[in-house]
């Protein structure tokens, strides 16, 4: 059995994105071998109910390394021999988070010795790279370059598939608008359009030219749905959002992932307006399978089905199994509930056999699509072959490029940057100065040895006189170091410039890592205050897994670079930027608020009945907190480079947009600086009056331009009626004639160039 049409061919054939969003998602995209349905039905006909329940049971691999084991709560793991036996007995559909070719070959051997010889699946959290670690997804989103996300996902898939992985639990496509939530680091931030484009790109990257190819891994957009809307930014907390907001904000990145060919999704941990997503028949049934005609698989999150009991939604394990399964969860991850309870539920008639068969059919077709019935060892050839594909020079080069493109320069007053590698004495200060334990981010399970890629070594390697760099820790992440501040101040005094490598350690973000106060930890803030008092120019390099509220000397520093967690090539990429070998080109995918108390803050908020028209004036009885404008400190889309960019000559052709026409929006972007730079030109729109209130601005398109010193370029966007759709009063896609504002701007809150137009009836 084989699947010859590549996804690219199918996508090209399918035409425009607008058309794609109307065709059914899932199996409609990869062309199935004509023999598959008959093959699957014949196999299904030979299976016992227990074997069927086995095909719906996924468990942690006993070969999971310590990093992989540490990301989930501890559960009872079977012994190696028990897991082999389960594979042989057909009690398992696959295992996750192991990447051990020899062991997985033994597991597959056991499955092949079983009665039905159904191959096992090997899944893993390949979130942002495998042995080569790319920037955290939130960082990579700052590149505003979906093609980069496609390339890094492709490279991750090449490494992971060679090491035996068939299926990744990625991309995480949860829109995240509350910076307290620690899992925002795994996604693409607050914006729907950026989220959709990145979701599609990552799916395409993971799945490559066809799922049955040995270097493809199946994608799994997660967590369905609205996990990022947890109340108070508290991980796992309840979510209560309107159906309109679900449809407008939280659903679209999933649709984009499915339209790009993803065949699986993961049910979220959270409840959704009273009904846990894992037991939500409206969500998984009516919407996903009904309305969207999704033909793919739904997997629970880790023990998500069992957790229906703690939610207070199921009375016991049997009830939890019934509710999760009947709601539409095909595969149970880690709890073992399906294996334990589905046979009895089918025997009692509470779960119809036809429903069980439908889920098993989906699993078998998924395995067929992955090429596993043709060759169960497709991605577990040999340890040598696995090793031969890891950390290749071109992959490391891509990691350096991605790291460079992920960094956002918030400020560069008086052109403090770039530094001079030949002339300046530099004090490098802070807990990230020579750290290698915090460069990967919180979701790295398989990253390799990183020695030598710390910032200090990379800076030294780039400097003419390595002695001109003095390195001082100055502080721990959380706690002061004895004498640390004194040492740091001494080093700064002896230098021309102080570079402060500070911020959050990676454990501050990721799963179950919500923060209440999203600021630079106090010990480090004090360090920066003391170094700033020397009067030396400061360059702040912030490590962070979320937007931070910056204060005091950190905020006052003339130069600030947001560096997230950049992965394997963190040090070299930062040295490239600091010394001007590359120009910063990232833009914020999340707004940085002025104060943590503004959260959730996102640029696409509604105007309210009393908007504050002049954020700097703080008029009474207008929408703002005491003393704080209702605006970001650094808004979504903001970022600087080493050029000097100017926008002018906005031309929209006509101020009237016929309902079947298009507006050509043109602007001239000029680099008046002395260095090359990249600019992310952003198109925003506001619908002034509609039957449902609209956000103050919405991103409709963006374009990244490379501009040599002194160069200019014209950027053109095309705006059509369908770009102005919103979820109307009847929860249907709606567009209404009327007046719209339009901005071509360098950020969501910058004035940029402005025009208005009328959408005609």
* Residues making contact with ligand BGC (CB under 6 A): 71-72, 97, 125, 169, 222, 301-302, 511
Question: Alpha helix locations (H) across 533-611?
Answer: 552-556, 570-578
Residue 506 structure tokens: 């990676």
Q: Which is nearer to ligand BGC, 71 or 492 (CB)?
A: 71
Please state the separation of Cα 736 from the chain's center in Å: 33
Position of minimal CB gap to ligand BGC:
169
Check: CB of residue 425 under 8 Å from CB of residue 495: yes
Reported in sequence order, the residue ranges of 61-208 that DSSP labels E, i.e. its strands, are 94-96, 121-124, 167-168
Q: Which is nearer to ligand BGC, 84 or 268 (CB)?
A: 268
Distance CA 261, CA 182 (A): 28
Catalytically annotated residue among 166, 235, 301, 435: 301
Q: What are the angstrom distances between the C-alpha of 333 and each of 119, 121, 278, 577, 587?
A: 18, 13, 11, 42, 36
Distance CA 253, CA 188 (A): 10
Instruction: Please give the DSSP secondary-structure letter assigned to residue 109.
Output: H
Distance CA 75, CA 368 (A): 31
| Least distance to ligand BGC, CB of residue 135, Å | 18
* 433 SS3 class: coil
609 CB contacts (<8 Å, ≥6 apart)?
Answer: none
Q: Which is nearer to ligand BGC, 71 or 99 (CB)?
A: 71
420 is catalytic: no
Q: Which is nearer to ligand BGC, 137 or 572 (CB)?
A: 137
Distance CA 362, CA 343 (A): 18
Q: How many CB atoms lie within 10 A of CB 370?
A: 25
| Least distance to ligand BGC, CB of residue 95, Å | 11
Q: Which is nearer to ligand BGC, 266 or 663 (CB)?
A: 266
Burial of 697 (0-12, 13-18, 19+ CB in 10 A): buried
Q: What are the angstrom distances between the C-alpha of 523 and each of 430, 475, 503, 509?
A: 10, 7, 10, 18
Q: Which is nearer to ligand BGC, 227 or 477 (CB)?
A: 227
* 678 SS3 class: strand
Q: Which is nearer to ligand BGC, 218 or 456 (CB)?
A: 218
Q: What is the dihedral of CA 673, 675, 680, 684, to 10 degrees?
A: 0
| Least distance to ligand BGC, CB of residue 107, Å | 18
**Where in the sequence numbering do the catalytic residues fall?**
301
């Amino acid at each position: 059995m084989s699947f010859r049409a590549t996804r690219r061919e199918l996508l090209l054939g399918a035409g425009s994105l607008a058309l794609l969003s109307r065709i059914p998602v899932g199996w409609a995209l990869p062309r199935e071998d004509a023999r598959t349905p008959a093959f699957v039905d014949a196999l299904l006909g030979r299976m016992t109910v227990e074997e069927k329940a086995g095909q719906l049971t996924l468990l942690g691999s006993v070969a999971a390394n310590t990093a992989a084991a540490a990301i989930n709560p501890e559960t009872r793991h079977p012994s190696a021999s028990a897991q082999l036996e389960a594979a042989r007995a057909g009690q398992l559909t696959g295992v996750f988070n192991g990447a051990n070719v020899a062991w997985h070959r033994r597991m597959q051997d056991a499955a092949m010795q079983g009665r039905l010889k159904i191959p096992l699946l090997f899944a893993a959290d390949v979130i942002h790279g495998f042995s080569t670690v790319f920037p955290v997804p939130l960082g990579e989103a700052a590149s505003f370059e979906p093609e980069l996300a496609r390339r890094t996902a492709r490279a991750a898939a090449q490494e992971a598939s060679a090491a035996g992985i068939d299926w990744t639990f990625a991309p995480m496509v949860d829109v995240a608008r509350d910076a307290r939530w620690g899992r925002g680091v795994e996604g693409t931030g607050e914006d729907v359009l950026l989220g959709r484009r990145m979701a599609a790109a990552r799916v395409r990257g993971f799945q490559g030219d066809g799922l049955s190819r040995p270097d493809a891994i199946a994608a799994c957009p997660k967590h369905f749905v609205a996990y990022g809307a947890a109340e108070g930014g508290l991980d796992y907390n309840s979510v209560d959002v309107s159906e309109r907001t679900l449809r407008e904000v939280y659903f679209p990145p999933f649709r984009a992932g499915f339209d790009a060919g993803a065949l699986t999704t993961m049910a979220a941990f959270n409840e959704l307006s009273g009904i846990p997503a894992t037991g939500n028949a409206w969500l998984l049934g009516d919407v996903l399978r009904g309305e969207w005609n999704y033909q793919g698989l739904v997997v629970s999150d880790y023990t998500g089905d069992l957790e229906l009991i703690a939610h207070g939604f199921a009375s016991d394990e049997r009830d939890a199994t019934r509710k999760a399964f009947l709601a539409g969860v095909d595969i149970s991850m880690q709890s073992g509930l399906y294996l334990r309870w589905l046979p009895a539920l089918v025997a009692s008639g509470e779960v119809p056999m036809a429903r069980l068969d439908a889920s098993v059919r989906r699993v078998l077709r998924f395995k067929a699509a992955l090429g596993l019935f043709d060759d169960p060892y497709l991605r577990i050839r040999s340890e040598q072959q696995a090793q031969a594909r890891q950390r290749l020079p071109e992959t490391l080069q891509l990691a350096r490029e991605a790291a460079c493109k992920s960094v956002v320069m918030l400020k560069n007053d008086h052109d403090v940057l770039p530094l001079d590698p030949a002339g300046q004495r530099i004090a490098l200060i802070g807990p990230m100065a020579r750290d290698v334990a915090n460069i990967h981010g919180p979701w790295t399970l398989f990253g390799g040895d990183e020695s030598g890629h710390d910032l200090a070594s990379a800076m030294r390697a780039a400097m003419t006189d390595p002695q001109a760099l003095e390195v001082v820790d100055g502080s721990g992440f959380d706690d002061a170091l004895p004498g640390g501040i004194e040492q740091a101040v001494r080093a700064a005094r002896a230098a021309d410039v102080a570079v402060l490598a500070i911020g959050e350690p990676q454990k501050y973000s990721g799963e179950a890592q919500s923060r209440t106060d999203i600021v630079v930890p106090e010990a480090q803030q004090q360090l920066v205050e003391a170094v700033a008092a020397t009067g030396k120019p400061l360059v702040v390099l912030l490590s962070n897994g979320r937007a931070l509220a910056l204060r005091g000397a950190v905020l006052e520093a003339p130069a600030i670079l947001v560096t997230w967690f950049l992965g394997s090539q963190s040090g070299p990429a930062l040295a490239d930027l600091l010394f001007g070998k590359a120009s910063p080109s990232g833009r914020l995918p999340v707004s940085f608020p002025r104060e943590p108390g503004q959260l959730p803050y996102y640029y696409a908020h509604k105007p309210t009945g009393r908007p504050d028209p002049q954020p700097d004036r703080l008029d009474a009885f207008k929408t703002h907190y005491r003393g704080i404008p209702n605006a970001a400190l650094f808004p979504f889309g903001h970022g600087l480079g080493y050029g000097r960019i100017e926008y002018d000559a906005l031309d929209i052709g006509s101020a009237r947009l016929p309902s079947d026409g298009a507006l050509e929006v043109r602007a001239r972007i000029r680099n008046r600086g002395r260095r090359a730079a990249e600019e992310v030109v952003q198109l925003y729109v506001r619908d002034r009056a509609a039957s449902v209130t609209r956000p103050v601005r919405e991103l409709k398109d963006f374009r990244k331009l490379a501009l040599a010193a002194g160069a200019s370029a014209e950027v053109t966007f095309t705006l059509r009626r369908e770009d102005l759709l919103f979820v109307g009063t009847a929860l249907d896609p709606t567009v209404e004639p009327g007046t719209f504002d339009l901005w071509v701007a360098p950020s969501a809150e910058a004035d940029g160039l402005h025009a208005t137009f009328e959408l005609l009836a």
